Structure 1
Amino acid sequence: MTNTATAGPDAVSSTALKPVPPASRINTTRVAGLITQLLVELGEDPAREGLAGTPQRVADWWNTFLSPDGAATATCFTESHVSGQLVVVGGMSVWSLCEHHMLPMNLQVAAGYVPVGEVVGLSKFGRIAQRHAGRLQVQERFTRQVADEIAGVIGSDDVAVAVCGTHLCMSMRGVRMESARTTSLHRGGRFGSDAVLSQQFVTFAAAQWNAA
């Protein structure tokens, strides 16, 4: 026998709870309406001067922040004489949202790879980091997603990604540790088997964070 629950007049239908495909933009009108409801539940007056345009501003921000999925494309340049070098791109700072509390987290990203015959346009690394940050995330998954996409671009697993994150879910709530930092590290291919190469990358990544 199947149990059936009867929804009240204010209940949200199961159809409305189905996730929107990642490539779709959000319905800003609907989101603005939900933000208006939230303000009411928080005891605010959405019609007062300071809040009059807030629901639409919040909806527009979500629409801008949430990035659609897409395959990486990159400009590569033939540079045969650089094969075997360690290239580290650091100083990449992106904002994301913790999926557990929907609070911001700032992620400082450093990515390294070993070129084989050609180098990748440097801006691609920042674009990859921004795309995976523009969604509800956890730092550990973000680190692996960035590494996997870079590996796909260069056609090699010789990729390392280090991320140092500041999470407002730790600073503003719970333990309220304002100085807490979380570090995650992915070492693929040679970075996992070559201790010297791995240490060089970690040293360069740490230097980037210390300089920030």
Structure 2
Amino acid sequence: MTSQFSSEFLPSEAAIANIPEATRTQVSTEEMERAVRTLLVGLGEDPDREGLRDTPKRVVKALKFLTQGYNQSLDELLNGAVFHEDTDEMVLVRDIDIFSSCEHHILPIIGRVHVAYIPNGRVIGLSKIARICEMYARRLQVQERLTHRIAEAIESILKPQGVAVVVEATHMCMVMRGVQKPGSWTVSSAMRGVFAEDVRTRQEFMSLIRHTPAFH
């Protein structure tokens, strides 16, 4: 499945980042652990048995780790790693592993991201591209939004001639429940600037990332 979409339907970055953060300031870790305990009881389990006694604590700790992107910002992440460089050749970082969580079921999204841009006098440290992908992945997500946010971030930081982002992922909400289709995967893309306007540039990018997804 391939997805392209209009960004006008996406919630703003502030809305995505700030609402969960505000909620966290009002809910204690102990309250979150009690909520997990309630879920265990509702599932028919005994949260006091040995194997589950510390599960609420572990679940809350895991969820905080998996959503730590809410507490990160682009400025802190970049830490000045943007440099002036006189080049206009494509820069591509491919096969960036991501682990995210579906906001509809809080089940894993596992996949890869490919990011390319054509500089316009500025370049970014290569490791920062992977960190940007990770920051947005470590939030409750839908794949389309994740794809858009990564492209938006690169575009806002560098003002390049163009940005291209492709995300390939498998969604556990489709594999473990619902339609139960192991091996299914989704491809979403965001093309900006010359990648959207120039067919040859877009084709070059797509040929460079062409492969069979690792999770097949």
TM-score by length of 1: 0.83
Matches within 5 A, 1:1-212: 20-21=20-21, 24=24, 27-66=28-67, 67=69, 68-72=71-75, 73=78, 74-80=80-86, 83-156=87-160, 158-207=162-211, 209=213
Pairwise CA distance, 1:145: 0.5
In the TM superposition, what whole-angstrom CA distance separates every residue of 1:20-64 from its partner, at most 9, and x where no partner exists? 436956632111110011111111111111111110011111222
Conserved 8 A contact 1:162-1:183 = yes
Q: How many residues align?
A: 192
CA distance in 2 between counterparts of 1:176 and 1:146 reads 29
1:7 is matched with none
Higher relative contact order by CA 8 Å / sep ≥ 6: 1 or 2? 2
Question: Comparing both structures, which one devotes a greater share of its residues to helix?
Answer: 2
Conserved 8 A contact 1:29-1:59 = no
Q: State the secondary structure of the residue aligned to 1:188.
A: strand
| 1:187–1:136 distance in 2 versus 1, CA, 3 Å | same
Conserved 8 A contact 2:120-2:159 = no
Q: State the secondary structure of the residue aligned to 1:177.
A: coil
Conserved 8 A contact 2:74-2:132 = no
Conserved 8 A contact 2:99-2:108 = yes
Pairwise CA distance, 1:103: 1.1
CA distance in 1 between counterparts of 2:215 and 2:55 reads 37
For 2:170, the aligned partner's letter is T
Q: Give the alignment's Cα RMSD to 1 decimal.
A: 2.2
Conserved 8 A contact 1:28-1:63 = no
Question: After the TM superposition, which of the residue ranges 97-106 and 201-210 deviates more from structure 2?
Answer: 201-210
| 1:45–1:145 distance in 2 versus 1, CA, 3 Å | same
1:16 is matched with none
Q: State the secondary structure of the residue aligned to 1:21.
A: helix
| 1:160–1:117 distance in 2 versus 1, CA, 3 Å | same
Pairwise CA distance, 1:118: 3.4
Pairwise CA distance, 1:65: 1.9
Pairwise CA distance, 1:173: 1.2
Conserved 8 A contact 1:112-1:160 = yes
Unaligned segments of structure 1, at least 5 residues: 1-18
Conserved 8 A contact 1:23-1:69 = no
Conserved 8 A contact 2:66-2:101 = no
CA distance in 1 between counterparts of 2:42 and 2:24 reads 28
For 2:50, the aligned partner's letter is E
| 1:208–1:113 distance in 2 versus 1, CA, 3 Å | farther
Q: State the secondary structure of the residue aligned to 2:74.
A: coil
Q: State the secondary structure of the residue aligned to 1:105.
A: strand
Which of the pair has more CA radius of gyration?
1
CA distance in 2 between counterparts of 1:210 and 1:159 reads 24
TM-score by length of 2: 0.81
